[in-house]
Chains A and B, each alone.
Chain A
Amino acid sequence: MPNPRFLFTAVMFTMLNASIAFAATAGRTFMSPKLEAGEMGIHSACMMPAEGKLSRLGMKGREGMSKESEAWSSALDAVVAGHLKATGIEIIPSGLAQEDLERNEELQRTVLKLQAKYDSVSSQIERHPKDTRKDRFTVGDEVALLPCTEKADILVYVHGQGQVLTGGKAAFGILIGGPSSSMGFLKLSLVDAKSGDILAYMRLVNNGKFADDSEKAYGKELDKLFKKMRIGNAPKKKKD
């Protein structure tokens, strides 16, 4: 007769691994006090070019997915812009599309500079996201170097990072242990277009087909988080 303890452990372990394979999205927002208090009216945004990086993890190791990453970057850009619009935020034409930047070297250099500025604070934001509530992070007033910030209330940084598992690797993970589903992170930073202060930092994670359908993966959660932030047309917080 099978050992009931062994069977129970084996079944629970397989179920735990298999349960991770069900697609789901989770998200968190960290807001600065200014935004939390509803002091700022945010009605327009300028989008920095989205940066999405995908890699494929298979039984034979990790491989880059350059072409897919490029497509994912555009998809993330469209999803975030679409949901900002849906909350009543006007998206100011940024002139930062790839074709525009290839034509304008000065603007391209400026975008690199602002990415470098953001990178230099992102190591702290990633480690201490809660400190966004303490107004700790800023990329500085150099954000004004982008012409679109003249009319925008916020500048939006969009970063995606995803690991796509091959079928073999996922099955291996379910049976033996280890990662058993793909995982895609979407990180957004809403930056004050005048001062460069980080007003909000959002982190969303999906373990489904985020690379194929970013809208399905992140759309609903984005709506929920934007609503919580009371930006655009969302009703403002009632003052006591």
Chain B
Amino acid sequence: MATNPVRLCRHAIALSLMALFAFSLPLLRAQDREVSDTSFKFSTVDNNLLDEVNEFDRQLDKKGLVFHDPSVEQYVAKIGNKLIANQPRLEHVEFRFRILRDPMVNAFALPNGSIYVTTGILGVLENESQLASVLGHEATHVTNRHTYLENRSIRKKVLAINILQGVAGAMPGGTVFGAAVALGAGMSAVIVNGSIYGYSREKESEADQRGFELLRRASYDPRAMPRTFELLDERLEFEPIETFYRTHPKLEERRQIATARLAGLNVMDTRTGTESDFLEHVAPAIRANVELDLSSRRARTAVSRASRLTKWKPDEPKYQVLLGDAYRSLGAKDAEPTDDERGRHGQAEHRKLYFKMTEQEEQAQLLAKPSGIATRNTNLDKAEKLYLGAIEADPRLADAHRGLGFLYEQQSKPMDAAREYRTYLTLTSGTSLDRLRIERRLAGVEKALLPRASTEQ
């Protein structure tokens, strides 16, 4: 029988790649075999990752993304330190509890001990023990070296996938085996991506379990944990990125597990902390977050958070202005999503709308219907009342005059708008960054008034 050299060569390649594939299978299975313990040995890969996260930490600070306010920072650090008290000292870990300027509801831990809670998550939580449950969960990711373990696991998986792709690519096309491997490699890539954006389910469960223990040990009310999961499930508007903290089926499952853990527990003499005390400490961060929400097309969230602040301190003019700004930005939108919008279909529609239309186009579409006009009028009326209330409490509050100016301009009342802009400019006298914008707006409304004045003459 004559031997075809090309066929021989193809068989040799296929056989060697199949051997590589067989070698790669244990790598795929190896992902969660490692256990976290105190005798963690740093490899070059881990040291490289540590350098990378230290740099990441520095970058966050440098870009102004870390929220600095001594009272908020001290409060978060105090709770965090209480949770990790009596923990053995770990190599290359220095716990730091920090706040990130980010409207996304999220918290994460870096393996060097930096734990970040976003201003967005502070806006959702109600009390100290809920914040402690979030910090306890994140601290466990650090103490159990989850990032390092996950990184090692991902690297093994990616190597295996590259080999799988190699096998699939070199296989003669059209065979069932080749197609199945190609499909498998493609699906594995999705799983890999899932791991990259969050830890594995096992590690997250471990963090919940250990976080729960930390919470109890620090004498916090463990009932805070299931309640925290409920709060994190709040969906006021579409979010372009879904983090682990907001993935609905997982959240519900975690809430159920946390509730089951409560069975038979004595919760007497535990600390919960009141909402008022919590807000007393974190209000500056929530306020900063509302401003970010307003810049990020999240007016509903802004209304919800600013409402919390005004309910807590109804006579505080700066919170009234904040809520006024939020209602004004809401325009023709309802403050709460309808049941339809909350449903699966509604959320998918919202997603489409978010990517299809700009904020202005969305408003214009709503205003094309009478219900949209009515909602807008209601929202603007609420905003006006809030601004006027703030001015009554503090007539020199420049931001209230600015908000009122914007509102009157929206309502096509140029004379009133001009009056408020002038007051704002008088009150800020060269110190505000917003002067240039208001001067330009004033010039615009005065120009609009000119033809009217000449007609009246």
Contacts and interface: CB of A to CB of B under 8 A. Distances in A.
B448 interface: no
B55 interface: yes
A165 to B, nearest CB: 12
A189 to B, nearest CB: 14
A147 B432 CA distance: 10
Interface string A146-180: 11011000000000000000000000100011100
A2 B59 contact: no
A14 to B, nearest CB: 12
Contact of B52 (A60, A63, A110): A63
Contacts of B437: 141-142, 144-145
B359 interface: yes
Interface string B294-322: 01110000000000000000000000000
Nearest to B68: A105
A116 B64 contact: no
Interface in B355-394: 355-361
A98 B433 contact: no
Q: Which of B52, B356, B358 has the most CB of A within 10 A?
A: B358
B345 interface: no
Contacts of A176: 165-166, 169-170
Contacts of B244: none
Interface in B35-94: 48, 52, 55-56, 59, 62-65, 68
Interface string A93-108: 0000010011001111
Contact of B295 (A70, A116, A137): A116
Nearest to A3: B6
Contacts of B297: 120
B206 interface: no
Instruction: Give the dominant DSSP class at B's interface.
Output: helix
B52 A113 contact: no
A117 B295 contact: yes
Contact of A172 (B155, B162, B295, B357): B162
B5 interface: yes
B434 interface: yes
Contact of B433 (A107, A137, A172, A194): A107
B264 interface: no
Among A7, A112, A121, residue most surrounded by chain B Cβ atoms (within 10 Å): A112
A60 B159 CA distance: 5
A110 B155 CA distance: 39
Contacts of B192: 61
Contacts of B436: 144-145, 147, 149-150
Contacts of B68: 105
Contacts, number: 105
B55 A109 contact: no
A116 B289 CA distance: 12
B165 A124 contact: no
Contacts of A61: 154-155, 157-159, 192
Given A120-B297, A177-B169, A109 B64 contact: yes
A107 to B, nearest CB: 7
B300 to A, nearest CB: 14
B59 A177 contact: no
A98 B61 CA distance: 11
B240 interface: yes
A19 interface: no
Nearest to B295: A116
B11 to A, nearest CB: 13
A64 interface: yes
A6 interface: yes
A145 B64 contact: no
Q: Which of A6, A66, A119 has the most CB of B within 10 A?
A: A66
B441 interface: yes
A3 B154 CA distance: 40
A86 B33 CA distance: 59
Given A111-B64, A113-B295, A123-B354, A145 B433 contact: yes
A59 interface: yes
26 contacts: A2-B5, A2-B6, A59-B159, A60-B158, A62-B196, A64-B52, A66-B55, A105-B68, A106-B433, A107-B433, A117-B296, A123-B240, A123-B355, A124-B356, A124-B358, A127-B355, A136-B358, A137-B358, A138-B360, A141-B437, A144-B434, A144-B436, A145-B437, A147-B433, A172-B166, A194-B440
Interface of B: 4-6, 48, 52, 55-56, 59, 62-65, 68, 101, 154-155, 157-159, 162, 165-166, 169-170, 192, 196, 240, 288, 291-292, 295-297, 354-361, 433-434, 436-437, 440-441
The 4 closest A-B pairs by CB, nearest first: A61-B158, A144-B437, A108-B64, A66-B55
